[in-house]
Protein backbone atom coordinates (compact mmCIF):
# COMPACT_ATOMS: atom_id res chain seq x y z
CA UNK A 1 0.00 0.00 0.00
CA UNK A 2 1.49 3.32 -1.07
CA UNK A 3 0.07 6.59 0.18
CA UNK A 4 0.93 10.08 -1.08
CA UNK A 5 0.23 13.37 0.66
CA UNK A 6 0.14 16.72 -1.10
CA UNK A 7 1.13 19.64 1.12
CA UNK A 8 1.62 23.34 0.52
CA UNK A 9 3.70 25.97 2.27
CA UNK A 10 1.54 29.02 3.02
CA UNK A 11 2.03 32.35 4.83
CA UNK A 12 1.58 32.05 8.59
CA UNK A 13 -0.62 35.14 8.55
CA UNK A 14 -3.92 36.37 7.15
CA UNK A 15 -2.30 39.60 5.96
CA UNK A 16 -0.92 39.02 2.46
CA UNK A 17 -0.27 41.29 -0.50
CA UNK A 18 -0.82 40.67 -4.21
CA UNK A 19 1.53 41.85 -6.94
CA UNK A 20 -0.77 44.14 -9.01
CA UNK A 21 1.13 43.42 -12.24
CA UNK A 22 1.64 39.64 -12.01
CA UNK A 23 -1.48 38.90 -9.99
CA UNK A 24 0.52 36.58 -7.73
CA UNK A 25 1.03 36.60 -3.98
CA UNK A 26 4.07 38.43 -2.61
CA UNK A 27 5.75 35.88 -0.32
CA UNK A 28 9.05 37.65 0.37
CA UNK A 29 9.55 38.47 4.02
CA UNK A 30 6.61 36.36 5.22
CA UNK A 31 6.89 33.62 7.80
CA UNK A 32 5.78 30.37 6.18
CA UNK A 33 4.22 27.17 7.52
CA UNK A 34 2.62 23.96 6.29
CA UNK A 35 -0.98 24.60 5.30
CA UNK A 36 -2.91 23.76 8.52
CA UNK A 37 -5.51 21.59 6.74
CA UNK A 38 -2.73 19.52 5.15
CA UNK A 39 -1.65 18.44 8.62
CA UNK A 40 -4.85 16.38 8.88
CA UNK A 41 -3.98 14.64 5.60
CA UNK A 42 -0.50 13.87 6.97
CA UNK A 43 -1.91 12.49 10.20
CA UNK A 44 -4.35 10.24 8.32
CA UNK A 45 -1.66 8.90 5.98
CA UNK A 46 0.83 8.11 8.75
CA UNK A 47 -1.87 6.55 10.96
CA UNK A 48 -3.12 4.25 8.20
CA UNK A 49 0.44 3.37 7.16
CA UNK A 50 1.00 2.09 10.69
CA UNK A 51 -2.32 0.22 10.75
CA UNK A 52 -1.77 -1.47 7.41
CA UNK A 53 1.81 -2.44 8.22
CA UNK A 54 3.71 -4.60 5.79
CA UNK A 55 5.36 -2.57 3.06
CA UNK A 56 3.02 0.41 3.42
CA UNK A 57 4.77 3.71 2.66
CA UNK A 58 3.91 7.41 2.88
CA UNK A 59 5.50 9.81 0.39
CA UNK A 60 4.96 13.55 0.63
CA UNK A 61 5.05 16.05 -2.25
CA UNK A 62 5.05 19.84 -2.25
CA UNK A 63 5.21 22.30 -5.13
CA UNK A 64 6.81 25.64 -4.44
CA UNK A 65 10.02 27.68 -4.30
CA UNK A 66 13.25 26.20 -2.88
CA UNK A 67 12.30 27.47 0.59
CA UNK A 68 9.36 25.01 0.60
CA UNK A 69 11.88 22.29 1.37
CA UNK A 70 11.22 23.21 5.02
CA UNK A 71 7.64 21.97 4.58
CA UNK A 72 8.93 18.64 3.28
CA UNK A 73 11.23 18.26 6.29
CA UNK A 74 8.32 19.04 8.61
CA UNK A 75 6.35 16.24 6.94
CA UNK A 76 9.28 13.84 7.38
CA UNK A 77 9.43 14.77 11.05
CA UNK A 78 5.70 14.07 11.12
CA UNK A 79 6.44 10.48 10.16
CA UNK A 80 6.42 10.36 6.35
CA UNK A 81 8.94 7.96 4.79
CA UNK A 82 10.12 10.05 1.83
CA UNK A 83 9.52 13.47 0.33
CA UNK A 84 9.92 15.36 -2.93
CA UNK A 85 9.95 19.08 -3.70
CA UNK A 86 8.51 20.08 -7.07
CA UNK A 87 10.28 23.32 -7.90
CA UNK A 88 11.16 25.21 -11.07
CA UNK A 89 11.02 28.83 -12.17
CA UNK A 90 8.76 27.64 -14.99
CA UNK A 91 6.08 26.86 -12.37
CA UNK A 92 5.84 30.48 -11.22
CA UNK A 93 2.30 31.86 -11.46
CA UNK A 94 0.65 28.45 -11.88
CA UNK A 95 -3.11 28.38 -11.38
CA UNK A 96 -4.90 25.38 -9.88
CA UNK A 97 -4.93 23.39 -13.14
CA UNK A 98 -1.24 23.95 -13.90
CA UNK A 99 -0.44 23.02 -10.29
CA UNK A 100 -2.51 19.82 -10.53
CA UNK A 101 -0.74 18.89 -13.77
CA UNK A 102 2.68 19.19 -12.13
CA UNK A 103 1.58 17.19 -9.09
CA UNK A 104 0.03 14.50 -11.28
CA UNK A 105 3.26 14.21 -13.28
CA UNK A 106 5.24 13.79 -10.04
CA UNK A 107 2.87 11.07 -8.84
CA UNK A 108 3.17 9.26 -12.13
CA UNK A 109 6.96 9.46 -12.02
CA UNK A 110 7.30 8.24 -8.43
CA UNK A 111 4.18 6.05 -8.35
CA UNK A 112 1.97 4.24 -8.59
CA UNK A 113 0.05 5.25 -5.46
CA UNK A 114 -3.08 3.66 -4.03
CA UNK A 115 -4.25 6.65 -2.03
CA UNK A 116 -3.55 10.38 -2.39
CA UNK A 117 -4.57 12.71 0.44
CA UNK A 118 -4.91 16.49 0.34
CA UNK A 119 -6.20 19.11 2.72
CA UNK A 120 -9.65 20.42 1.82
CA UNK A 121 -8.13 23.73 0.67
CA UNK A 122 -5.11 25.97 1.14
CA UNK A 123 -5.48 28.96 3.43
CA UNK A 124 -3.81 31.30 0.95
CA UNK A 125 -5.91 30.46 -2.12
CA UNK A 126 -9.12 29.07 -0.58
CA UNK A 127 -10.14 27.39 -3.87
CA UNK A 128 -10.25 23.72 -2.91
CA UNK A 129 -9.70 22.87 -6.60
CA UNK A 130 -6.24 21.30 -6.75
CA UNK A 131 -7.16 18.06 -4.99
CA UNK A 132 -10.15 17.10 -7.17
CA UNK A 133 -8.32 18.24 -10.33
CA UNK A 134 -5.38 16.03 -9.36
CA UNK A 135 -7.68 13.07 -8.81
CA UNK A 136 -9.28 13.61 -12.21
CA UNK A 137 -5.89 13.70 -13.94
CA UNK A 138 -4.93 10.50 -12.10
CA UNK A 139 -8.18 8.85 -13.27
CA UNK A 140 -8.80 8.00 -9.62
CA UNK A 141 -11.89 7.97 -7.41
CA UNK A 142 -12.36 11.50 -6.04
CA UNK A 143 -14.00 12.11 -2.65
CA UNK A 144 -14.18 15.54 -0.98
CA UNK A 145 -14.98 16.73 2.56
CA UNK A 146 -13.79 13.45 4.10
CA UNK A 147 -14.23 13.48 7.88
CA UNK A 148 -13.70 9.78 8.67
CA UNK A 149 -11.87 6.84 7.09
CA UNK A 150 -13.26 3.56 8.40
CA UNK A 151 -11.67 0.83 6.30
CA UNK A 152 -9.08 0.19 3.59
CA UNK A 153 -9.19 -3.37 2.29
CA UNK A 154 -9.42 -5.45 -0.88
CA UNK A 155 -8.77 -2.55 -3.22
CA UNK A 156 -11.51 -0.38 -1.75
CA UNK A 157 -11.82 2.37 0.84
CA UNK A 158 -14.83 3.06 3.04
CA UNK A 159 -15.24 6.53 4.48
CA UNK A 160 -17.63 9.20 5.60
CA UNK A 161 -17.90 12.66 4.07
CA UNK A 162 -19.61 15.80 5.32
CA UNK A 163 -22.65 16.99 3.36
CA UNK A 164 -25.17 19.71 4.07
CA UNK A 165 -27.26 18.68 7.03
CA UNK A 166 -25.34 15.50 7.87
CA UNK A 167 -22.90 12.99 6.46
CA UNK A 168 -22.65 10.41 3.69
CA UNK A 169 -21.01 6.98 3.73
CA UNK A 170 -18.97 6.29 0.59
CA UNK A 171 -17.20 3.17 -0.62
CA UNK A 172 -14.72 3.92 -3.40
CA UNK A 173 -12.38 1.88 -5.57
CA UNK A 174 -8.64 2.45 -5.23
CA UNK A 175 -6.69 4.37 -6.40
CA UNK A 176 -8.49 7.25 -4.76
CA UNK A 177 -7.88 10.92 -4.06
CA UNK A 178 -9.31 12.31 -0.83
CA UNK A 179 -9.71 15.93 0.24
CA UNK A 180 -9.99 15.87 4.03
CA UNK A 181 -11.46 18.31 6.54
CA UNK A 182 -10.16 19.22 9.98
CA UNK A 183 -12.77 17.06 11.77
CA UNK A 184 -10.98 13.95 10.47
CA UNK A 185 -8.42 13.82 13.28
CA UNK A 186 -6.12 15.74 15.60
CA UNK A 187 -2.61 16.10 14.14
CA UNK A 188 0.24 15.04 16.39
CA UNK A 189 2.70 17.58 17.77
CA UNK A 190 6.23 17.58 16.39
CA UNK A 191 8.96 17.08 18.94
CA UNK A 192 12.36 18.74 18.80
CA UNK A 193 13.99 15.30 18.52
CA UNK A 194 11.96 14.47 15.39
CA UNK A 195 12.82 17.82 13.80
CA UNK A 196 16.52 17.36 14.48
CA UNK A 197 16.45 13.82 13.09
CA UNK A 198 15.41 15.03 9.61
CA UNK A 199 17.30 18.34 9.56
CA UNK A 200 20.06 16.96 7.35
CA UNK A 201 17.89 14.69 5.19
CA UNK A 202 18.45 15.38 1.50
CA UNK A 203 15.23 16.20 -0.33
CA UNK A 204 15.10 15.38 -4.08
CA UNK A 205 13.91 18.26 -6.26
CA UNK A 206 11.79 17.54 -9.34
CA UNK A 207 11.89 20.14 -12.14
CA UNK A 208 9.64 20.53 -15.16
CA UNK A 209 12.25 18.70 -17.26
CA UNK A 210 12.39 15.84 -14.73
CA UNK A 211 8.62 15.49 -14.99
CA UNK A 212 8.56 15.72 -18.78
CA UNK A 213 6.23 18.72 -18.72
CA UNK A 214 6.18 20.95 -21.82
CA UNK A 215 6.73 24.65 -21.23
CA UNK A 216 3.22 25.51 -22.42
CA UNK A 217 1.77 23.46 -19.53
CA UNK A 218 3.72 25.28 -16.83
CA UNK A 219 3.30 28.51 -14.91
CA UNK A 220 1.41 31.41 -16.43
CA UNK A 221 1.60 29.89 -19.93
CA UNK A 222 -0.13 26.75 -18.75
CA UNK A 223 -2.75 28.56 -16.66
CA UNK A 224 -6.14 29.10 -18.34
CA UNK A 225 -7.23 31.28 -15.41
CA UNK A 226 -5.23 34.41 -14.66
CA UNK A 227 -5.63 37.48 -12.47
CA UNK A 228 -6.52 40.40 -14.74
CA UNK A 229 -6.59 43.10 -12.08
CA UNK A 230 -6.34 43.47 -8.33
CA UNK A 231 -8.65 45.75 -6.37
CA UNK A 232 -8.90 46.26 -2.65
CA UNK A 233 -12.33 47.04 -1.15
CA UNK A 234 -12.77 50.48 0.32
CA UNK A 235 -14.49 50.61 3.68
CA UNK A 236 -16.58 53.77 3.91
CA UNK A 237 -18.52 54.41 7.06
CA UNK A 238 -20.94 57.24 7.70
CA UNK A 239 -23.30 57.84 10.56
CA UNK A 240 -26.05 60.20 11.60
CA UNK A 241 -26.60 61.02 15.23
CA UNK A 242 -30.15 61.01 16.58
CA UNK A 243 -30.53 62.83 19.87
CA UNK A 244 -33.36 61.41 21.88
CA UNK A 245 -33.56 63.98 24.62
CA UNK A 246 -37.08 64.33 25.98
CA UNK A 247 -38.82 63.60 22.64
CA UNK A 248 -38.54 59.79 22.27
CA UNK A 249 -41.36 59.60 19.73
CA UNK A 250 -39.61 62.10 17.42
CA UNK A 251 -36.35 60.16 17.67
CA UNK A 252 -38.08 56.90 16.69
CA UNK A 253 -39.74 58.63 13.73
CA UNK A 254 -36.41 60.06 12.53
CA UNK A 255 -34.77 56.61 12.80
CA UNK A 256 -37.61 55.01 10.83
CA UNK A 257 -37.24 57.64 8.10
CA UNK A 258 -33.49 56.99 7.80
CA UNK A 259 -33.99 53.21 7.57
CA UNK A 260 -36.74 53.63 4.97
CA UNK A 261 -34.46 55.77 2.80
CA UNK A 262 -31.61 53.24 3.10
CA UNK A 263 -33.88 50.35 2.07
CA UNK A 264 -35.22 52.33 -0.88
CA UNK A 265 -31.69 53.25 -2.00
CA UNK A 266 -30.56 49.63 -1.99
CA UNK A 267 -33.68 48.38 -3.78
CA UNK A 268 -33.33 51.10 -6.39
Q: Helix, strand or coil for residue 63? A: strand
- Phi, psi (5° rounding) for residue 153? -165, 145
pLDDT tens string for the chain (268 positions)?
999 999 999 887 665 666 666 556 666 667 788 899 999 999 999 999 999 988 899 999 999 999 999 999 999 998 999 999 999 999 988 899 999 999 999 999 998 999 999 999 988 877 889 999 999 999 999 999 999 999 999 999 999 999 988 999 999 999 999 999 999 999 988 888 888 888 888 899 999 999 999 999 998 888 988 777 777 777 777 777 777 777 888 888 888 888 898 888 877 6
Closest CA relative to residue 111, chosen from 21, 235, 4: 4
Rounded CA separation 10/92 (Å): 15
Q: How far is CA 187 from the centre of its chain?
A: 16
Rounded CA separation 119/56 (Å): 21
Note whether 63 and 103 are within 8 A (CB): yes
pTM (2 d.p.): 0.79
Amino acid sequence: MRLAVMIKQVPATDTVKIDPEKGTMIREGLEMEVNPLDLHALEAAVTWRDRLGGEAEVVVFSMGPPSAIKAIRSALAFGCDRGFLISDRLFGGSDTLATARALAAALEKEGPFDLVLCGERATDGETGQVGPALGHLMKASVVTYVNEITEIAEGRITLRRAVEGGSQVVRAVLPAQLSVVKELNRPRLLTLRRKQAVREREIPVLTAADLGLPVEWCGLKGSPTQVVSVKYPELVRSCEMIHVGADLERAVTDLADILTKEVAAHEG
